Structure 1
Amino acid sequence: MTRLSLTLGYVPGGTPAKWARIWAERQPEVPLRLHAVAAADAAEAVRAGTVDVALLRLPVDTTGLAVIGLYEETTVAVVPADHVAGAVDELAAADLDGEPTLLPLDDVVGWAEAPGVPIDHRPETTLDAIELVAAGLGALIVPQSLARLYHRKDLIYRPIRDAPTCPVALAFPDGPQSALVEEFVGIVRGRKPGSSRGQGQPAPKRTAREKSLAKQAARAAAGKVSSRPRRAERGRR
Protein backbone atom coordinates (compact mmCIF):
# COMPACT_ATOMS: atom_id res chain seq x y z
CA MET A 1 0.00 0.00 0.00
CA THR A 2 1.32 3.45 -0.90
CA ARG A 3 2.11 5.50 2.18
CA LEU A 4 0.48 8.93 2.29
CA SER A 5 2.62 12.03 2.61
CA LEU A 6 2.36 15.79 2.12
CA THR A 7 5.03 17.87 0.38
CA LEU A 8 5.65 21.45 1.50
CA GLY A 9 7.70 23.68 -0.76
CA TYR A 10 9.49 26.64 0.78
CA VAL A 11 11.62 29.44 -0.61
CA PRO A 12 15.07 30.40 0.77
CA GLY A 13 14.62 32.07 4.13
CA GLY A 14 11.20 30.50 4.59
CA THR A 15 10.43 29.22 8.08
CA PRO A 16 8.39 25.99 7.92
CA ALA A 17 9.73 24.54 11.20
CA LYS A 18 6.80 25.65 13.38
CA TRP A 19 4.17 24.12 11.13
CA ALA A 20 6.27 21.02 10.50
CA ARG A 21 6.43 20.44 14.27
CA ILE A 22 2.66 20.83 14.70
CA TRP A 23 2.05 18.54 11.73
CA ALA A 24 4.27 15.85 13.25
CA GLU A 25 2.28 16.07 16.50
CA ARG A 26 -1.12 15.78 14.81
CA GLN A 27 -0.26 13.47 11.92
CA PRO A 28 2.57 11.22 13.17
CA GLU A 29 1.77 8.55 10.55
CA VAL A 30 1.87 10.98 7.60
CA PRO A 31 5.34 12.40 6.76
CA LEU A 32 5.60 16.08 5.85
CA ARG A 33 8.28 16.28 3.18
CA LEU A 34 10.10 19.64 2.95
CA HIS A 35 11.17 20.63 -0.54
CA ALA A 36 13.30 23.76 -1.13
CA VAL A 37 12.31 25.73 -4.23
CA ALA A 38 13.66 28.90 -5.81
CA ALA A 39 11.47 31.95 -5.19
CA ALA A 40 10.79 32.35 -8.91
CA ASP A 41 9.71 28.70 -9.23
CA ALA A 42 7.55 28.28 -6.10
CA ALA A 43 4.15 29.10 -7.64
CA GLU A 44 4.76 26.91 -10.68
CA ALA A 45 5.85 24.04 -8.42
CA VAL A 46 2.38 24.11 -6.84
CA ARG A 47 0.61 24.33 -10.21
CA ALA A 48 2.70 21.45 -11.58
CA GLY A 49 2.05 19.26 -8.52
CA THR A 50 5.73 19.07 -7.59
CA VAL A 51 4.65 20.20 -4.12
CA ASP A 52 1.21 20.07 -2.49
CA VAL A 53 1.51 23.44 -0.74
CA ALA A 54 4.20 26.12 -0.69
CA LEU A 55 5.45 28.97 1.45
CA LEU A 56 6.30 31.71 -1.03
CA ARG A 57 6.89 35.44 -1.28
CA LEU A 58 4.49 37.83 -2.94
CA PRO A 59 3.99 39.24 -5.45
CA VAL A 60 3.93 36.26 -7.82
CA ASP A 61 1.59 35.05 -10.53
CA THR A 62 -1.15 33.31 -8.53
CA THR A 63 -3.14 31.99 -11.51
CA GLY A 64 -4.77 28.71 -10.51
CA LEU A 65 -3.74 29.08 -6.87
CA ALA A 66 -5.47 29.79 -3.59
CA VAL A 67 -3.31 32.08 -1.45
CA ILE A 68 -3.41 32.82 2.30
CA GLY A 69 -1.33 35.73 3.56
CA LEU A 70 0.77 34.75 6.57
CA TYR A 71 3.04 37.59 7.68
CA GLU A 72 5.04 40.60 6.51
CA GLU A 73 8.84 40.55 6.63
CA THR A 74 10.96 43.58 7.46
CA THR A 75 13.09 44.85 4.57
CA VAL A 76 16.77 45.42 5.37
CA ALA A 77 19.94 46.68 3.72
CA VAL A 78 23.00 44.41 3.79
CA VAL A 79 26.32 46.29 3.80
CA PRO A 80 29.97 45.62 4.73
CA ALA A 81 30.68 45.51 8.46
CA ASP A 82 32.69 48.75 8.33
CA HIS A 83 29.87 50.70 6.62
CA VAL A 84 28.62 53.88 8.30
CA ALA A 85 25.22 52.17 8.67
CA GLY A 86 26.77 50.25 11.56
CA ALA A 87 26.50 53.38 13.70
CA VAL A 88 22.67 53.30 13.74
CA ASP A 89 19.98 50.74 14.60
CA GLU A 90 17.90 51.41 11.49
CA LEU A 91 18.05 53.32 8.24
CA ALA A 92 15.76 55.56 6.24
CA ALA A 93 15.53 54.97 2.51
CA ALA A 94 17.13 58.39 1.99
CA ASP A 95 20.26 57.16 3.79
CA LEU A 96 20.96 54.96 0.76
CA ASP A 97 20.57 57.72 -1.83
CA GLY A 98 23.57 57.64 -4.16
CA GLU A 99 24.75 54.31 -2.69
CA PRO A 100 25.76 51.65 -5.25
CA THR A 101 23.26 48.80 -4.95
CA LEU A 102 23.02 45.24 -6.22
CA LEU A 103 19.85 43.88 -7.84
CA PRO A 104 20.04 40.10 -8.28
CA LEU A 105 17.97 38.39 -10.95
CA ASP A 106 16.06 36.51 -8.23
CA ASP A 107 15.17 39.74 -6.37
CA VAL A 108 12.07 39.19 -4.21
CA VAL A 109 11.56 42.69 -2.79
CA GLY A 110 10.29 44.24 -6.01
CA TRP A 111 10.70 47.81 -4.75
CA ALA A 112 10.24 49.94 -7.85
CA GLU A 113 11.42 53.13 -6.13
CA ALA A 114 14.23 51.57 -4.15
CA PRO A 115 16.99 54.02 -3.14
CA GLY A 116 20.55 53.81 -4.40
CA VAL A 117 22.13 53.48 -7.81
CA PRO A 118 22.02 49.91 -9.20
CA ILE A 119 25.35 48.80 -10.65
CA ASP A 120 25.33 47.54 -14.24
CA HIS A 121 26.05 43.92 -13.34
CA ARG A 122 23.07 41.91 -12.05
CA PRO A 123 24.20 38.82 -10.13
CA GLU A 124 22.23 35.68 -10.83
CA THR A 125 21.21 34.93 -7.24
CA THR A 126 20.90 36.68 -3.90
CA LEU A 127 23.75 34.53 -2.59
CA ASP A 128 25.96 35.78 -5.44
CA ALA A 129 24.95 39.34 -4.54
CA ILE A 130 25.97 38.74 -0.92
CA GLU A 131 29.45 37.82 -2.13
CA LEU A 132 29.64 41.08 -4.07
CA VAL A 133 28.51 43.10 -1.05
CA ALA A 134 31.36 41.52 0.92
CA ALA A 135 33.71 42.55 -1.89
CA GLY A 136 32.60 46.17 -1.44
CA LEU A 137 30.66 46.57 -4.70
CA GLY A 138 27.48 47.92 -3.11
CA ALA A 139 24.55 47.40 -0.75
CA LEU A 140 21.81 44.78 -1.09
CA ILE A 141 18.14 45.21 -0.14
CA VAL A 142 16.47 41.95 0.93
CA PRO A 143 13.89 40.52 3.35
CA GLN A 144 15.35 40.14 6.84
CA SER A 145 15.14 36.33 6.74
CA LEU A 146 17.47 36.23 3.73
CA ALA A 147 19.93 38.53 5.47
CA ARG A 148 19.93 36.11 8.39
CA LEU A 149 20.19 33.06 6.16
CA TYR A 150 23.27 34.40 4.37
CA HIS A 151 24.81 36.20 7.33
CA ARG A 152 28.60 36.58 7.39
CA LYS A 153 30.95 38.08 9.95
CA ASP A 154 32.13 40.68 7.47
CA LEU A 155 28.60 41.95 6.78
CA ILE A 156 25.86 43.68 8.76
CA TYR A 157 22.24 44.46 7.98
CA ARG A 158 19.94 47.22 9.14
CA PRO A 159 16.14 47.60 8.84
CA ILE A 160 14.89 50.28 6.43
CA ARG A 161 12.02 51.84 8.36
CA ASP A 162 10.18 53.36 5.39
CA ALA A 163 10.67 50.46 2.98
CA PRO A 164 7.76 48.28 1.86
CA THR A 165 7.49 44.99 3.73
CA CYS A 166 7.90 41.61 2.03
CA PRO A 167 4.72 39.48 2.28
CA VAL A 168 4.94 35.73 2.81
CA ALA A 169 1.97 33.51 1.90
CA LEU A 170 0.83 29.91 1.76
CA ALA A 171 -0.26 28.76 -1.70
CA PHE A 172 -2.05 25.61 -2.82
CA PRO A 173 -4.08 24.63 -5.90
CA ASP A 174 -7.40 26.42 -6.23
CA GLY A 175 -10.50 24.25 -5.98
CA PRO A 176 -11.41 21.15 -3.93
CA GLN A 177 -8.59 20.00 -1.66
CA SER A 178 -7.46 16.68 -0.27
CA ALA A 179 -7.99 16.04 3.43
CA LEU A 180 -4.23 16.39 4.02
CA VAL A 181 -4.03 19.81 2.36
CA GLU A 182 -7.09 20.95 4.31
CA GLU A 183 -5.45 19.75 7.51
CA PHE A 184 -2.26 21.68 6.78
CA VAL A 185 -4.21 24.82 5.89
CA GLY A 186 -6.03 24.44 9.19
CA ILE A 187 -2.73 24.26 11.06
CA VAL A 188 -1.45 27.39 9.34
CA ARG A 189 -4.71 29.20 10.14
CA GLY A 190 -4.37 28.25 13.80
CA ARG A 191 -7.23 25.77 14.07
CA LYS A 192 -7.20 23.59 17.15
CA PRO A 193 -6.98 19.82 16.58
CA GLY A 194 -10.66 19.23 17.33
CA SER A 195 -11.85 21.99 15.02
CA SER A 196 -9.90 21.02 11.89
CA ARG A 197 -12.11 20.14 8.98
CA GLY A 198 -12.18 16.60 7.72
CA GLN A 199 -11.85 14.96 11.15
CA GLY A 200 -15.34 13.47 11.23
CA GLN A 201 -18.46 14.39 13.16
CA PRO A 202 -18.11 16.24 16.47
CA ALA A 203 -18.74 14.34 19.68
CA PRO A 204 -22.42 14.48 20.75
CA LYS A 205 -23.32 16.84 23.58
CA ARG A 206 -23.71 15.24 26.99
CA THR A 207 -27.04 15.36 28.86
CA ALA A 208 -27.35 17.11 32.22
CA ARG A 209 -27.37 13.72 33.98
CA GLU A 210 -24.22 12.62 32.15
CA LYS A 211 -22.51 15.86 33.16
CA SER A 212 -23.56 15.36 36.79
CA LEU A 213 -22.26 11.79 36.83
CA ALA A 214 -19.00 12.92 35.25
CA LYS A 215 -18.52 15.57 37.96
CA GLN A 216 -19.20 12.98 40.69
CA ALA A 217 -16.67 10.63 39.12
CA ALA A 218 -14.09 13.41 38.95
CA ARG A 219 -14.62 14.26 42.64
CA ALA A 220 -14.36 10.61 43.60
CA ALA A 221 -11.13 10.27 41.67
CA ALA A 222 -9.78 13.25 43.59
CA GLY A 223 -10.82 11.72 46.92
CA LYS A 224 -13.92 13.89 47.38
CA VAL A 225 -17.05 11.77 47.89
CA SER A 226 -20.33 13.41 46.86
CA SER A 227 -22.67 14.31 49.72
CA ARG A 228 -25.70 12.91 47.87
CA PRO A 229 -24.68 9.22 48.21
CA ARG A 230 -23.96 9.80 51.94
CA ARG A 231 -27.51 11.10 52.52
CA ALA A 232 -28.90 8.07 50.74
CA GLU A 233 -26.77 5.83 52.92
CA ARG A 234 -27.99 7.52 56.12
CA GLY A 235 -31.56 7.04 54.98
CA ARG A 236 -31.03 3.27 54.82
CA ARG A 237 -29.71 3.09 58.37
Structure 2
Amino acid sequence: MTIKNKVVIITGASSGIGEATAKLLAIKGAKVVLAARREEKLKRIVEEIKAQFGEAVYFVTDVTKREENQKLIDFAKMTYGTIDVMFLNAGIMPNSPMSALKVEDWDQMIDINIRGVLYGIAAVLPLFIHQKGGHIIATSSVAGLKSYPGGAVYGATKWAVRDLMEVLRMESAQEETNIRTATIYPAAINTELLDEISHEQTAQSMSGLYKRYGITPDRIATIVAYAIDQPEDVNVNEFTVGPTKQPW
Protein backbone atom coordinates (compact mmCIF):
# COMPACT_ATOMS: atom_id res chain seq x y z
CA MET A 1 0.00 0.00 0.00
CA THR A 2 1.37 3.42 -0.96
CA ILE A 3 -0.29 5.14 2.01
CA LYS A 4 2.02 3.52 4.54
CA ASN A 5 4.70 5.91 5.86
CA LYS A 6 3.50 8.81 3.73
CA VAL A 7 3.53 12.21 5.44
CA VAL A 8 0.10 13.81 5.03
CA ILE A 9 -0.88 17.33 6.10
CA ILE A 10 -4.61 17.90 6.64
CA THR A 11 -6.13 21.35 7.12
CA GLY A 12 -9.54 21.70 8.71
CA ALA A 13 -8.55 18.63 10.71
CA SER A 14 -10.30 19.42 14.01
CA SER A 15 -13.65 17.89 12.99
CA GLY A 16 -15.69 16.39 10.18
CA ILE A 17 -13.96 15.23 7.02
CA GLY A 18 -10.52 16.31 8.23
CA GLU A 19 -10.78 14.41 11.50
CA ALA A 20 -12.17 11.28 9.84
CA THR A 21 -9.45 11.36 7.19
CA ALA A 22 -6.66 11.80 9.74
CA LYS A 23 -7.87 8.79 11.73
CA LEU A 24 -8.29 6.56 8.68
CA LEU A 25 -4.91 7.42 7.15
CA ALA A 26 -3.18 6.91 10.49
CA ILE A 27 -4.73 3.44 10.75
CA LYS A 28 -3.34 2.73 7.27
CA GLY A 29 0.15 3.71 8.38
CA ALA A 30 0.46 7.35 7.30
CA LYS A 31 2.23 9.97 9.38
CA VAL A 32 -0.42 12.63 9.80
CA VAL A 33 -0.01 16.34 10.52
CA LEU A 34 -3.29 17.89 11.67
CA ALA A 35 -3.86 21.61 11.17
CA ALA A 36 -6.75 23.82 12.32
CA ARG A 37 -7.43 26.70 14.70
CA ARG A 38 -8.93 24.77 17.64
CA GLU A 39 -6.03 23.37 19.63
CA GLU A 40 -8.07 21.43 22.17
CA LYS A 41 -9.80 19.44 19.44
CA LEU A 42 -6.54 18.83 17.58
CA LYS A 43 -4.88 17.59 20.75
CA ARG A 44 -7.75 15.20 21.46
CA ILE A 45 -7.67 13.73 17.96
CA VAL A 46 -3.89 13.22 18.06
CA GLU A 47 -4.22 11.47 21.43
CA GLU A 48 -6.93 9.20 20.02
CA ILE A 49 -4.75 8.33 17.02
CA LYS A 50 -1.75 7.56 19.20
CA ALA A 51 -3.91 5.39 21.46
CA GLN A 52 -4.51 3.24 18.38
CA PHE A 53 -0.75 3.16 17.73
CA GLY A 54 -0.95 5.65 14.87
CA GLU A 55 1.54 8.41 14.13
CA ALA A 56 0.21 11.98 14.35
CA VAL A 57 1.13 15.52 15.40
CA TYR A 58 -0.72 18.81 15.20
CA PHE A 59 0.07 22.44 14.44
CA VAL A 60 -2.40 25.23 15.20
CA THR A 61 -2.99 27.01 11.90
CA ASP A 62 -5.19 29.78 10.55
CA VAL A 63 -5.22 29.05 6.82
CA THR A 64 -6.20 32.65 6.00
CA LYS A 65 -2.73 33.78 7.11
CA ARG A 66 -0.04 33.05 4.55
CA GLU A 67 2.77 32.97 7.10
CA GLU A 68 0.98 30.34 9.18
CA ASN A 69 0.67 28.07 6.15
CA GLN A 70 4.42 28.35 5.66
CA LYS A 71 5.05 27.61 9.33
CA LEU A 72 2.86 24.51 8.99
CA ILE A 73 4.98 23.25 6.09
CA ASP A 74 8.19 24.00 8.00
CA PHE A 75 6.86 22.15 11.06
CA ALA A 76 5.94 19.06 9.04
CA LYS A 77 9.36 19.00 7.35
CA MET A 78 11.13 19.45 10.69
CA THR A 79 9.06 16.68 12.27
CA TYR A 80 9.10 14.06 9.52
CA GLY A 81 11.77 15.22 7.07
CA THR A 82 9.48 15.46 4.06
CA ILE A 83 5.87 15.91 2.92
CA ASP A 84 4.04 13.62 0.49
CA VAL A 85 0.44 14.85 0.55
CA MET A 86 -1.30 18.16 1.29
CA PHE A 87 -5.06 17.82 1.89
CA LEU A 88 -6.57 21.31 1.69
CA ASN A 89 -9.82 20.64 3.50
CA ALA A 90 -10.55 23.76 5.59
CA GLY A 91 -13.77 25.47 4.58
CA ILE A 92 -16.96 27.17 5.79
CA MET A 93 -20.51 27.40 4.38
CA PRO A 94 -22.56 30.24 5.94
CA ASN A 95 -25.09 30.24 3.11
CA SER A 96 -27.78 32.88 2.59
CA PRO A 97 -29.66 34.57 -0.26
CA MET A 98 -27.68 37.31 -2.01
CA SER A 99 -30.44 39.74 -1.01
CA ALA A 100 -29.61 39.19 2.67
CA LEU A 101 -26.33 41.03 2.00
CA LYS A 102 -24.30 39.10 4.55
CA VAL A 103 -21.10 40.61 3.24
CA GLU A 104 -19.06 39.61 6.29
CA ASP A 105 -19.94 35.97 5.59
CA TRP A 106 -18.91 36.45 1.97
CA ASP A 107 -15.55 37.79 3.08
CA GLN A 108 -14.97 34.87 5.44
CA MET A 109 -15.79 32.33 2.73
CA ILE A 110 -13.44 34.01 0.29
CA ASP A 111 -10.68 34.13 2.89
CA ILE A 112 -10.95 30.51 4.03
CA ASN A 113 -12.29 28.70 0.97
CA ILE A 114 -10.13 30.42 -1.66
CA ARG A 115 -7.21 32.17 0.03
CA GLY A 116 -6.76 29.26 2.41
CA VAL A 117 -6.37 26.91 -0.55
CA LEU A 118 -4.08 29.28 -2.43
CA TYR A 119 -1.86 29.88 0.59
CA GLY A 120 -1.61 26.14 1.21
CA ILE A 121 -0.58 25.55 -2.39
CA ALA A 122 1.91 28.40 -2.26
CA ALA A 123 3.50 26.97 0.88
CA VAL A 124 3.89 23.38 -0.27
CA LEU A 125 4.44 23.80 -4.02
CA PRO A 126 8.14 24.78 -3.90
CA LEU A 127 8.92 21.58 -1.98
CA PHE A 128 6.91 19.41 -4.37
CA ILE A 129 8.58 21.03 -7.38
CA HIS A 130 12.01 20.50 -5.83
CA GLN A 131 11.40 16.84 -5.04
CA LYS A 132 9.67 16.22 -8.40
CA GLY A 133 6.60 14.76 -6.77
CA GLY A 134 3.79 15.26 -4.32
CA HIS A 135 0.02 15.11 -4.04
CA ILE A 136 -2.35 18.03 -3.45
CA ILE A 137 -5.95 17.17 -2.59
CA ALA A 138 -8.71 19.75 -2.06
CA THR A 139 -12.27 19.65 -0.79
CA SER A 140 -14.61 21.49 -3.15
CA SER A 141 -18.37 20.74 -3.14
CA VAL A 142 -21.17 19.74 -5.45
CA ALA A 143 -21.84 23.49 -5.23
CA GLY A 144 -18.64 23.78 -7.26
CA LEU A 145 -20.32 21.82 -10.05
CA LYS A 146 -23.91 23.03 -9.89
CA SER A 147 -25.59 26.26 -8.81
CA TYR A 148 -27.91 26.30 -5.79
CA PRO A 149 -30.16 29.19 -4.60
CA GLY A 150 -28.85 30.48 -1.30
CA GLY A 151 -25.34 29.31 -2.07
CA ALA A 152 -24.05 31.86 -4.56
CA VAL A 153 -20.88 32.94 -2.78
CA TYR A 154 -20.12 29.53 -1.30
CA GLY A 155 -20.57 28.00 -4.74
CA ALA A 156 -18.36 30.66 -6.30
CA THR A 157 -15.55 29.80 -3.89
CA LYS A 158 -15.91 26.10 -4.66
CA TRP A 159 -15.96 26.71 -8.42
CA ALA A 160 -12.71 28.60 -7.87
CA VAL A 161 -11.18 25.59 -6.12
CA ARG A 162 -12.24 23.40 -9.03
CA ASP A 163 -10.47 25.61 -11.55
CA LEU A 164 -7.35 26.10 -9.43
CA MET A 165 -6.87 22.39 -8.97
CA GLU A 166 -7.47 21.45 -12.60
CA VAL A 167 -5.03 24.08 -13.87
CA LEU A 168 -2.48 22.97 -11.26
CA ARG A 169 -2.78 19.42 -12.57
CA MET A 170 -2.33 20.54 -16.17
CA GLU A 171 0.64 22.79 -15.41
CA SER A 172 2.34 20.07 -13.39
CA ALA A 173 2.05 17.70 -16.34
CA GLN A 174 3.43 20.35 -18.70
CA GLU A 175 6.31 21.20 -16.36
CA GLU A 176 7.02 17.51 -15.63
CA THR A 177 7.01 18.00 -11.85
CA ASN A 178 4.92 14.85 -11.25
CA ILE A 179 2.55 16.56 -8.82
CA ARG A 180 -0.74 14.71 -8.55
CA THR A 181 -4.01 16.47 -7.72
CA ALA A 182 -7.45 15.34 -6.59
CA THR A 183 -10.54 17.48 -6.08
CA ILE A 184 -13.45 16.11 -4.07
CA TYR A 185 -17.01 17.34 -4.58
CA PRO A 186 -19.06 16.17 -1.57
CA ALA A 187 -22.85 16.48 -1.40
CA ALA A 188 -24.65 16.22 1.97
CA ILE A 189 -22.02 15.14 4.50
CA ASN A 190 -22.87 15.57 8.18
CA THR A 191 -20.19 17.93 9.49
CA GLU A 192 -20.13 21.27 11.33
CA LEU A 193 -20.72 23.28 8.14
CA LEU A 194 -24.35 24.00 9.00
CA ASP A 195 -23.45 25.45 12.40
CA GLU A 196 -22.22 28.70 10.84
CA ILE A 197 -25.39 29.53 8.86
CA SER A 198 -26.91 32.58 10.55
CA HIS A 199 -29.71 33.15 8.01
CA GLU A 200 -32.64 31.44 9.73
CA GLN A 201 -34.61 30.30 6.67
CA THR A 202 -31.50 28.95 4.95
CA ALA A 203 -30.39 27.19 8.13
CA GLN A 204 -33.76 25.46 8.48
CA SER A 205 -33.80 24.39 4.84
CA MET A 206 -30.24 23.06 4.88
CA SER A 207 -30.78 21.32 8.21
CA GLY A 208 -33.80 19.49 6.84
CA LEU A 209 -31.89 18.42 3.75
CA TYR A 210 -28.92 17.08 5.73
CA LYS A 211 -31.16 15.28 8.22
CA ARG A 212 -32.90 13.54 5.33
CA TYR A 213 -29.88 12.68 3.20
CA GLY A 214 -26.64 13.28 5.12
CA ILE A 215 -23.96 10.61 5.44
CA THR A 216 -20.95 10.47 7.73
CA PRO A 217 -17.56 12.13 7.03
CA ASP A 218 -15.70 8.83 7.02
CA ARG A 219 -17.26 8.17 3.61
CA ILE A 220 -15.16 11.01 2.22
CA ALA A 221 -12.10 9.82 4.13
CA THR A 222 -12.17 6.58 2.15
CA ILE A 223 -12.09 8.60 -1.08
CA VAL A 224 -9.01 10.50 0.08
CA ALA A 225 -7.33 7.23 0.98
CA TYR A 226 -8.20 5.79 -2.43
CA ALA A 227 -6.67 8.77 -4.24
CA ILE A 228 -3.45 8.57 -2.24
CA ASP A 229 -3.21 4.81 -2.62
CA GLN A 230 -2.99 4.89 -6.41
CA PRO A 231 0.38 4.20 -8.08
CA GLU A 232 2.53 7.30 -8.50
CA ASP A 233 1.95 7.31 -12.27
CA VAL A 234 -1.85 7.39 -11.83
CA ASN A 235 -3.80 10.57 -11.12
CA VAL A 236 -7.51 10.32 -10.33
CA ASN A 237 -8.24 14.00 -10.27
CA GLU A 238 -11.99 14.35 -9.52
CA PHE A 239 -14.45 12.61 -7.20
CA THR A 240 -18.13 13.58 -6.97
CA VAL A 241 -19.41 11.92 -3.80
CA GLY A 242 -22.72 11.97 -1.99
CA PRO A 243 -25.54 9.95 -0.47
CA THR A 244 -27.05 7.38 -2.82
CA LYS A 245 -30.55 8.62 -1.98
CA GLN A 246 -29.80 12.34 -2.49
CA PRO A 247 -30.68 13.77 -5.94
CA TRP A 248 -28.04 16.52 -5.41
TM-score > 0.5, shorter chain as reference: no
- Greater gyration radius: 1
Q: Per chain length, whose mean CA-contact separation is higher, i.e. which structure has more relative contact order (CA < 8 Å, sep 6+)? A: 1
TM-score, normalization by structure 2:
0.29
Give me the TM-score of the superposition, normalised by structure 1: 0.30
